Structure 1
Amino acid sequence: MKRDIYPDILFLMETKNPDSFVLKKMKQLQYENSHLISPTGHGAGGLALFWKQEIKLQILNSSANCIDVCIEFEGKSFFASFVYGDTDKPKRRAIWDLLLERNNARDTPWFLTGDLNDLLNNDEKVGGPSRPEASFTDMRSFYSEGDLYDLRHSGDCLSWRGQRGDYLVRCRLDWAAANSYWAEMFPNARSQYLTRELIELKRSELECALTDPANDTDLISKVSNELNDAYLSEEEYWRQRSRLLWLSLSDRNTGFFHATAKNRKRANAFTVIEDDEGTMVYQEDQIGRVIVNYFHDLFRAIEGNREETVAYALSPMVNDEMSDTHNATVSRRDQRGSVLHSRRQSPRTRWLFR
């Protein structure tokens, strides 16, 4: 992992082992700082957070389901929550409520990531029957009340795979989200699901299994199946990148149920604009000048004689002859003609003229 990907902060969920075992396995990655939460039972749970020496990170709160921290990065400070959502719905809802309470008290940039163990909609799963809309209420409410937005992502986001009855189900349980304050602070932030890295790992494991003198056929079969699933996942990812399919299925990555509720500045953010000469401008200060110049030219007074235009706009459109015609007294003959005409047009209204 360190050879290709060496993140500044590494979060592990479901370590399922004693802290000493986790630290021993992680020693080769040479992280100077760590914070571990021991498993709650035998082979269940466990969290671990590792970060480099140059990262200013302060642990604020920690539990079996969340490590809450404050981070300083590039001169900017924000709060971050590394979460493992409980599989029990009431307990998971309690975690959401606690996180919302902390966030509301801060009202500052907030980043959240981890296995939330829940979905926003049925587009986040493949296989098995569709879930009822009511089952997404907790997650949607959590996102909406927390002003949370899903980070733009790449890779195969359906990171969980399991058998549910007769169905093979794949769904998105791992998330990276942030509130609008954080998104304004880091507008180019992106999340990546490491599909290719998984393929390389499984290929390496398969090679080791095939060259092992023990010739463990069960292990070879297991790793082969996992490698095949990884290839299928990557194929699905690139298929989804097709523009035609993207349009037919809609962009699941930006179809937020709450995107119009609290979009603030992020919804209107852009990184390029074309000036009046057709030149593309990318720098923030240059973009600002293009906008200012546009509206300056739009509302700038232009010399010219406008008295004729104003006089025409204010001149009466009804002349004396037209006014006399409209104000003339209706004769008895005209009234009778109108009544007879109305009778012929609508028999059901005859009683009105008796």
Structure 2
Amino acid sequence: MNALAWNCQGLGAPRKIQFLKDVTRSEKPVFVFLSETISSYSKMEELSSSLGFEGFMAVEPQGRSGGIALFWKNTDSVVLRSCSRFHIDVLIRTTDNKDWRLTGIYGEPGRANRHKTWDLLRNLSRDANLPWCLVGDFNNVTSQKDKKGGPPYPEFLIDGFNSCLHDANLQDLDIIGHQFTWEKGRNTDHWTEVRLDRVLANNDWLERFHTAKVYNLEGSPSDHSPLLLVPDSMNRGNRKRHFRFENAWLTEPACFQIVKSCWEEEDNGSVIQKLKSCANSLDIWGKDRLKDETGNWVDWNSGFPEMIKEYFQKLYTEKQSQGEEVLSCISKQISEQQNLTLLETVKAEEVKEAVFGMHPDKAPGPDGITKNKKCSMPESNWGSRWWRNWIVFQKNWNI
């Protein structure tokens, strides 16, 4: 029953369509709510079908702004309750007769009209006799902590939104991952981040889905990050994933012991079998390795960002190392004669003849350099020498 909510800021760009396809393929949401689609009803119908959803509802934009859509997997499991330019409200039928309600929200973008969104939530809550969950871009924050950079958020908007949540008996679910969902001006002095997208729910829904989690899926081609709601958080945790070795494990003595033990246990096995055994053991062991250098547990709110920063600072700090043992294991690819040829003194005439003898439109060879039979250098080492000689050529010919 996972639900994805994303303010895509228009689906005209192919990369946004591809991003949406990649996310739905990897996260497998049962529901997808899109806001600011700036797309026609027919285009949303086509997109819904291409993503593998049986049912959909879309509200077209007005001019070049707005537009919302909701996709769902099983046509028979969803009943449309109401919709407008800023919301789509549906009833979700379940096989165990524990129906619940899902509402996609797109908040009024203009601050002067923000009260209309609050009134909409209050009106919808009057019919909240079922477990109820809301997802989307609410275009509002609940505190100054929801904003980073730029001027403070207007207090009257914060107070108005919180008053609305109180009246509608809705609670804000925490986000796992980066805490901000919208940004502008990255890498400038005006970089601003705000948590505009969120998931709200009433007490009945929270009691039923007490393990619910909300994940911030970063890397979006939009200014907004998608949010993934997982009502049963065990669903996401049980998905099969590929093993990835973490370099940070090399600082743990236990890592070496695990590798040593696995290698010895598979003494008669092949190298592939030994690697698989190591990967399985490290994967299980590595799930609990989220500690800093002092051995303290960390998370996003207590030291994890700082730990990541410190790790990469150390990783990219230049260190003196000796690589003779590694180099001794690499077989030679060129002969001594070829090496002497590559080390010969470069003559300006030789470089000029090679450069001016090239055809401008011929396809390059395996080394990426265009070949030409007029070159005086042997074809086997022509490309390698050309790059080494180019700087000398520039200097000698003043180009």
Q: TM-score, normalised by structure 1?
A: 0.53
- Structure 1 residues 110, 25: closer, same or farther in 2, change over 3 A? closer
Match of 2:201 in 1: 178
Q: How does 1:326-337 map to 2 (within 5 A)?
A: none
Alpha-carbon distance between aligned partners in 1 of 2:190 and 2:203, rounded to the nearest angstrom? 38
Identity %: 30
Matches within 5 A, 1:292-311: none
Distance across 2 between alignment mates of 1:48 and 1:132 = 30
Q: Provide closer, same or farther for how the CA distance between residues 178 and 74 of structure 1 changes in structure 2, counting only shifts above 3 A.
A: farther
Stretches of structure 1 that go unaligned for 5 or more consecutive residues are 200-238, 247-354
Which string of whole-angstrom CA distances, capped at 9 and with x for unpartnered residues, describes residues 231-274 of structure 1?
A: xxxxxxxx96263479xxxxxxxxxxxxxxxxxxxxxxxxxxxx
Letter of the 2:201 counterpart: A
Counterpart CA distance in 1 for 2:75 and 2:210 is 23
Letter in 1 for 2:195: R
The answer on whether the counterparts of 1:152 and 1:189 sit within 8 Å (CA) in structure 2 is no
Which aligned pairs between 1:192-271 and structure 2 lie closer than 5 A?
192-195=215-218, 241=300, 243-244=302-303
Cα separation, partners in 2 of 1:132 and 1:27, compared to 1, 3 Å = closer
Alignment of 1:314-333 (within 5 A): none
Which 5+ residue runs of structure 2 have no aligned equivalent? 1-21, 223-297, 306-399
Map of 1:261 onto structure 2: none
Work out whether 1:47 is the aligned partner of 2:72: no
Cα separation, 2, equivalents of 1:196 and 1:162: 14
Within the candidate set 100, 119, 134, 1:78 is matched to 100
1:255-297 residue CA offsets vs partner (Å, 9 max, x unmatched): xxxxxxxxxxxxxxxxxxxxxxxxxxxxxxxxxxxxxxxxxxx
RMSD: 2.8
Evaluate the alpha carbon distance shift between residue 166 and residue 243 of structure 1 in structure 2; reply closer, same or farther with a 3 A threshold. closer
The normalised TM-score by structure 2 is 0.47
| Alignment partners' CA distance in 2, 1:163 and 1:242 | 24
Q: Secondary structure at the match of 1:108?
A: coil
For the structure 1 residues 240 and 87, does the alpha-carbon distance in structure 2 shift closer, same or farther, using more than 3 Å as the test? farther
How far the C-alpha of 1:62 sits from its partner, in A, is: 0.6
Shift, 1:28, TM fit: 2.4
> Are positions 1:28 and 2:50 aligned together?
yes
How far, CA to CA, are the matches of 1:139 and 1:74 in structure 2? 35
What is the CA–CA distance in structure 2 between the aligned matches of 1:77 and 1:37, rounded to whole Å? 25
Where does residue 60 of structure 1 map in the other structure? 81
1:107, CA displacement in angstroms?
Answer: 3.7
User: How far apart in 1 are the matches of 2:65 and 2:219?
Assistant: 28
Q: In 2, are the aligned partners of 1:152 and 1:191 still within 8 Å (CA)?
A: yes
Conserved 8 A contact 1:147-1:179 = yes
Q: Which residue of 2 aligns with 1:232?
A: none
1:39-188 equivalent positions in 2, closer than 5 A: 39-41=61-63, 43-53=64-74, 56-73=77-94, 75=96, 76-163=98-185, 167-188=190-211
Give the C-alpha shift of residue 125 in structure 1.
1.0
Distance 1:105 1:196, change over 3 A: closer
Give the letter for the 1:243 counterpart: S
Relative contact order (C-alpha < 8 Å, sep 6+): which is higher? 2
**1:73 partner SS:** coil
1:49 to partner: Cα distance: 0.7
Larger radius of gyration: 1
Secondary structure of the corresponding residue to residue 112 of structure 1: strand
For the residues of structure 2 that align with 1:24 and 1:40, how far apart are their CA atoms? Answer: 20
Letter of the structure 2 residue corresponding to residue 193 of structure 1:
N
Partner of 2:39: 17
Q: Which amino acid aligns with 2:103?
A: S
Q: 1:6: how far off?
A: 1.6
1:54, CA displacement in angstroms?
Answer: 6.4
Instruction: Compute the displacement of 1:39 (Å).
Output: 0.8
Superposed displacement of residue 59, structure 1:
0.8
**Paired residue total:** 207
